[in-house]
Amino acid sequence: MTKLCRFIARGLEVVVGGLFIAIAATALAQVFTRYVLSNSLTWTHELDLLLMIWAVWLGAAIGIHRKAHLRITILSDRLSEASQKILMVVIDLLTLTFLVVLGWKGIAVIESVEGTVLTSMDLPRGFVVSAAPVGSGFMVLFFLPIVLQDFRDLFNPSRKR
């Protein structure tokens, strides 16, 4: 599963990089058309928002894969090693629950905007909000090996973090 996660994360890194390149290109096109051609493109702002939303959700999944999200350890650093392991598993389970609920509720949001389209582009609005359940799905996928490792560490007292 770890090799699959690495492969998917690498693909997501390429996709997110492409999204940021597209954002830069559309912003540059907007500036050029507005100030040089004196005629603004109407769809670039909405497209940039759409691309940024997707980049953030997919980037959050990459952050989980890299274990790069912020952690506040002022309390856990003062606990014993055994208590730290228990706390880590509890936090993992709460995080996993949160991610599953986030994805599940994201699907409900997609259903709530069904039939509506973006104003300047003829794209379904559900395409924008589908970033939440898709990103949550990738986060769950990347978080499962971390949870399993923390469970193994909890029941293997000789193993150091």
Domain ranges of the chain: 2-155
Write b or e for each residue in 51-89: b if 16 or more Cβ atoms lie within 10 A of its Cβ, otherwise e. bebbbebbbbbbebbeeeeeeeeeeeeeeeeeebbeebb
List the structure tokens of 48.
Answer: 């940039």
- pLDDT tier at 136 (50, 70, 90 boundaries)? very high
What would the pLDDT profile of 26-73 be if each residue is shown by its tens digit? 999 998 998 888 888 888 888 999 999 999 999 999 999 998 887 788
pLDDT of residue 138: 96
- pLDDT tier at 25 (50, 70, 90 boundaries)? very high
pLDDT of residue 160: 54
pLDDT of residue 72: 80
What would the pLDDT profile of 81-125 be if each residue is shown by its tens digit? 888 889 889 999 999 999 999 999 999 999 888 888 888 888 888
- pLDDT tier at 159 (50, 70, 90 boundaries)? low
Task: Calculate the alpha carbon distances from 57 to 16, 50, 138, 158 in Å.
Answer: 10, 11, 9, 37
pLDDT of residue 156: 81
Amino acid at 113: V
Q: Mean of the pLDDT values across residues 128-153?
A: 93
